[in-house]
Amino acid sequence: MKTRTLLLVWSVVSLAIPALGEDGYRFWLRYDPVPDQALREEYRRQCREMVVLGRSEVLDAARDELLRGLKGMLGQAPPSVPKASRDGVIVIAGSQEGREITDLGVLGTDGYLIQSRRIGGKAATVIVGRTDRGALYGAFRLLRLLQTRESLERLNINDEPAIALRMADQWDNPRGDVERGYAGASIFHWDHLPALDERYTDYARMLASVGINGIVLNNVNTAKNGLTGWKLITAPYLPKTAALAGVFRRYGIRVYLSVNFASPMLIGGLKTADPLEPAVQEWWKNRAREIYSYIPDFGGVLVKADSEGEPGPFTYKRSPTDGANMLAAAFEPLGGLVVWRAFVYGKDRNPDRIMQPYEIFQPLDGHFASNVAVQVKNGPLDFQVREPVSPLFGAMPKTNQVLELQVTQEYTGQATHVVYLVPEWKEVLSFDTFARGRTSTVEAVVSGRLFGNRHCGIAGVMNIGSDRNWTGQLLAQANTYGYGRLAWNPDLSAEAISREWVEMTFGTNPRVVATISGILLKSWKTYEQYTSPLGLGVLCDKEHFGPDLVHRQKQHHADAEGVGYDRTLETGSGFVAQYRSPWKEIYDSLSTCPEELLLWFHHVPYRYRLQSGKTLIQYIYDSHFEGVEEVRGFQAEWRKLRGLIDPERYNQVTEVLQGQLAAAIKWRDAINQYFFQISGIPDAKGRITVSEK
């Protein structure tokens, strides 16, 4: 057979069979051939050639991605031409050139337009960005349209991010491990850098495809227990960081580093890190200049100070504003941001630990420099499966605030449990703080819209590692994807996001989409059911894996009569007072407190009747049994996919669900046993007997 015929046969065959060796590495940017021939032909007619207007490395990345995606999905990459020569041209234009083609109107930073229109008399699909980065996002959007089999006819898309700063926070240690990482080792090989690894580019593509524009390369813990993250701002490491910054820059992502507050001592040999000491201030200014000499567009620094062994200004009886503003003065002339975490608590403060961040930070509102942002975890404690929203949101109107979410599943099942966290994050973002009357949502705060603050944002503690499928547990990729999509548009529904992700990752077969989405959308509630329902809070062991209720008594306060942490005004810690009305009153009263948070705010007798008429204790028992049954339901659903998706990924998830079932049973039995024994109240359905232990 002649070579041309062979190629033709191969291209027909390769379009018909799914790619072999599926392992999840290609995440949602798979670009497999469009199987429907008619649709593929239609797309081909619409993507016959490509014109790139403008020159920059970000536009190059956009062009390369389009070529790669179109080649994969259509079997041919459109030739790049200087000017539209026939119908079916894709025009991609950066910030300057775009203005000459179309009116960008009030399109915001990082936004893009995609329009079907005629250019030089030819039918074209035009992608124009407000910035080159916007054009890159537009390119990913166009590819998504094909991946989800949308029509390319009469396009008139106008999209921009709601939140300016969309960060990926890595808890990666330079020695190679990842704190709270469940997907293998760190992808960053500091020993080999500045030599680059292909995976860096693929990670940058992953992040850019969902609109992430900043990455903190290292863990917020930088020195405790022998960690060496503090070294990253020293001369031997800066060329390595610069090399990584080069990779991410091409995808519109600025690089940040976590720094140690005591760096002037650790690195500079000074005797103090007191922020009011001129030598310390000078040291940071010089260090900032040095960093920028390697990385001119360096984003800034993230600081975990006075927290869990990391040093901070408290050592010198100085405040977080003293510390943050000193750093801000060093980075401000260079365009750098200082992100200061509010995850601060200590033994000598309020015994209800969750009250401390508000007590420390709220009074400082109005005192932070304009290039400081205070980063607050979604809840007042620490990424539990259910927490109320942190009362700090909306309580610091004169301060840039960043919402910190945990994409890695530290307390939500690690790589063992399928838990899609987007529904939780949606609840957080849409929570009304009532800071300025109604619709003062967390989203309105962290988009900067509510108070007009410039450097607001959202940060996700990422869940990726060196495992071939990136996230350890394959379906956890939906969290990576969902985090980015929500950061871009918090109004997207959890359903819409899961549908997009499934279609891009597993294909558009409606049965596949409905089945996987169905599992994902139930999974957060299911995990809550068999671990910690009704706002019970932290029940896990010290390593945060299995259950250990004895060790967590100070969190759930279970005794012979009842369970729950009394945080009410009259008899409890008074935490409810940190919320504005009406939340303060709603949470304070047992009868109005939302049941999913009941035990977070109230100590409740076991025989108390919930709205359903069920007693509290029976609810706890039932919830755990029901949660386990839900996991069995997931397994049954997943089995329906056999033959509809590739066997490799089918088997990967089958195994995960087996492990999840075993773990869910362990949680159920440990918790139900504990409550059975402490309350002495039997399960009305007779399922719990005294354990032999």
* Footprint on residues 372-391 left by ligand GCV (CB under 6 A): 382
* Footprint on residues 591-650 left by ligand GCV (CB under 6 A): none
Residue closer to ligand GCV, measured from CB, 261 or 621:
261
Site string for ligand GCV, 114-153 (x = CB under 6 A): ----------------------------------------
CA atoms within 13 A on the CB side of 573: 22
* Footprint on residues 462-521 left by ligand GCV (CB under 6 A): none
Count of C-beta atoms within a 10 Å radius of residue 659: 14
Q: Provide the minimum distance between the beta carbon of 36 and ligand GCV in the complex, in angstroms, as a whole number.
A: 47
Describe the strand order of the beta sheet including 49-53 as a list of residue ranges: 49-53, 89-93, 122-129, 112-119, 156-159
Q: Which helix (H) or strand (E) element contains residue 247?
A: helix 238-249
Q: Which residues contact 295 (CB under 8 A, 6 or more apart)?
A: 238, 241, 242, 245, 255
Residue closer to ligand GCV, measured from CB, 349 or 642:
349
Q: Provide the minimum distance between the beta carbon of 461 and ligand GCV in the complex, in angstroms, as a whole number.
A: 7
Handedness of CA 440, 445, 449, 453 (dihedral sign): positive
Residue closer to ligand GCV, measured from CB, 98 or 174:
174
Alpha helices in 23-178 (DSSP H): 37-46, 57-74, 95-101, 132-147
3-state helix, strand, coil in the chain (%, to 5): 40, 15, 45
CA-to-CA distance for 81 and 88, rounded, in angstroms?
A: 12
Residue closer to ligand GCV, measured from CB, 274 or 306:
306
Between helix 57-74 and helix 132-147 the angle, nearest 10°, is: 10
Instruction: Please state, in angstroms and as integers, the Cα–Cα distance from residue 653 to each residue in 30, 406, 513, following that order.
Output: 18, 22, 15
Q: Provide the minimum distance between the beta carbon of 421 and ligand GCV in the complex, in angstroms, as a whole number.
A: 16
Q: Strand 156-159 and strand 112-119: pairing?
A: antiparallel
Which tokens in the block code for residue 637? 């659903």
Cross-strand pairs, 114: 127, 157
Q: Provide the minimum distance between the beta carbon of 384 and ligand GCV in the complex, in angstroms, as a whole number.
A: 11
Total number of residues that touch ligand GCV (CB under 6 A): 11
Residue 410 bears catalytic tag: yes
Residue closer to ligand GCV, measured from CB, 40 or 180:
180
Site string for ligand GCV, 394-413 (x = CB under 6 A): ----------------x---
Which window, 181-189, 215-223, 656-664, 669-677, contacts ligand GCV (CB under 6 A)?
A: 215-223
- Answer yes or no whether residue 62 interacts with ligand GCV by CB under 6 A: no
Q: Provide the minimum distance between the beta carbon of 327 and ligand GCV in the complex, in angstroms, as a whole number.
A: 18
Q: Provide the minimum distance between the beta carbon of 485 and ligand GCV in the complex, in angstroms, as a whole number.
A: 23
Q: Which residues contact 598 (CB under 8 A, 6 or more apart)?
A: 534, 535, 564, 590, 604, 610
* Footprint on residues 177-196 left by ligand GCV (CB under 6 A): 179-180
CA-to-CA distance for 350 and 355, rounded, in angstroms?
A: 7
Residue 308 bears catalytic tag: yes
Residue 382 bears catalytic tag: yes
Residue closer to ligand GCV, measured from CB, 229 or 533:
229
Q: Point out the catalytic residue in the list 410, 467, 503, 630.
A: 410
Alpha helices in 510-646 (DSSP H): 510-530, 553-556, 583-588, 598-601, 616-639
* Coil, helix or strand at residue 370: coil
Q: Provide the minimum distance between the beta carbon of 314 and ligand GCV in the complex, in angstroms, as a whole number.
A: 16
- Answer yes or no whether residue 261 interacts with ligand GCV by CB under 6 A: no
- Answer yes or no whether residue 171 interacts with ligand GCV by CB under 6 A: yes
Which window, 53-61, 217-225, 288-296, 438-446, contacts ligand GCV (CB under 6 A)?
A: 217-225
Which window, 214-222, 384-392, 491-499, 574-582, contacts ligand GCV (CB under 6 A)?
A: 214-222
Q: Provide the minimum distance between the beta carbon of 310 and ligand GCV in the complex, in angstroms, as a whole number.
A: 8
Q: Which residues contact 522 (CB under 8 A, 6 or more apart)?
A: 630, 634
SS (H, E, C) 463-504: CCCCCCCCCCCHHHHHHHHHHHHHHHCCCCCHHHHHHHHHHH
Q: Provide the minimum distance between the beta carbon of 499 and ligand GCV in the complex, in angstroms, as a whole number.
A: 32
- Answer yes or no whether residue 221 interacts with ligand GCV by CB under 6 A: yes
- Answer yes or no whether residue 304 interacts with ligand GCV by CB under 6 A: yes
**Residue of 29, 207, 220, 512 interacting with ligand GCV (CB under 6 A):** 220
Q: Point out the catalytic residue in the list 150, 297, 308, 491.
A: 308
Which window, 159-167, 213-221, 241-249, 271-279, contacts ligand GCV (CB under 6 A)?
A: 213-221
CA-to-CA distance for 571 and 414, rounded, in angstroms?
A: 36
CA-to-CA distance for 456 and 162, rounded, in angstroms?
A: 11
Q: Where along the sequence are the contacts to ligand GCV (CB under 6 A)?
A: 171, 179-180, 219-221, 304, 308, 343, 382, 410
Positions marked catalytic: 308, 382, 410
